[in-house]
Chains A and B, each alone.
Chain A
């Protein structure tokens, strides 16, 4: 099945700095890569996704880049704010199944004021 690896597991940045979280995947046929944010005690929520026909997508302070050749994709958060503190998950479609996602192990981002 699909193997999704996510790094780092924890990340602390100063408010206003940038944060980058990276994921690799194993199935070269994967073509959809979402990122979810989970605040403490809350449900995961989609913040941005990218499909394999583009290399980068931006939404205000958040961007995702995709390198299909290297099979990795990254989440970039600029001008971080304390409310960005959360666990972030990447995901990719599970191999052989059009109906499941495999999630990365999560990154605990802490933005220090």
Chain B
């Protein structure tokens, strides 16, 4: 059984479009995350979220917004896509930040 899943695996789109990436975890974890990994492999936290608190990294443009319909899902919405948004986006979950984070397989986003 897949612990953390993401869809789609690949996403190719035009500048200016709006897109969403879905994430689901079946581990019963309370906290979920979104990371952006650029071409240099830097892994940067974008958001962390549980049912009580959303923490937004200050460098994330407000075109990016997480939406959580329930504890097992944290989707990422991106408005007005830009070339610089091209990257691999990883969803992850953990019981606490100071415990193992389980990553999804990643979504490879290419903005043309």
Contacts and interface: CB of A to CB of B under 8 A. Distances in A.
Given A103-B44, A108-B41, 10 more contacts: A43-B103, A43-B104, A44-B43, A44-B90, A89-B43, A98-B96, A99-B48, A100-B48, A100-B57, A105-B40
Q: Is the interface of B mostly helix, strand, loop or mixed?
A: loop
A106 B45 contact: no
Contacts of A53: none
Interface residues of A, number: 24
A99 B43 contact: no
B97 A45 contact: no
Interface in A80-112: 87, 89, 93-94, 97-103, 105-106, 108
Q: Is the interface of A mostly helix, strand, loop or mixed?
A: strand
A38 to B, nearest CB: 8
Contact of A103 (B43, B53, B97, B106): B43
Interface in A44-80: 44-46, 49
B98 A31 contact: yes
26 contacts: A31-B98, A32-B98, A34-B100, A43-B104, A43-B105, A43-B106, A44-B103, A46-B101, A87-B41, A93-B98, A97-B55, A98-B96, A98-B98, A99-B31, A99-B96, A100-B33, A100-B45, A100-B55, A100-B97, A101-B97, A102-B45, A103-B44, A105-B41, A105-B42, A106-B42, A106-B43
Contacts of A49: 100
Nearest to A31: B98
A99 B53 contact: yes
A99 B50 contact: yes
Interface string B42-71: 111100101001010100000000000000
A101 B45 contact: yes
Contacts of A101: 45, 97, 101
Interface string B14-49: 000000000000000001010000001111110010
A43 B90 contact: yes
A110 B105 CA distance: 22
Nearest to A32: B98
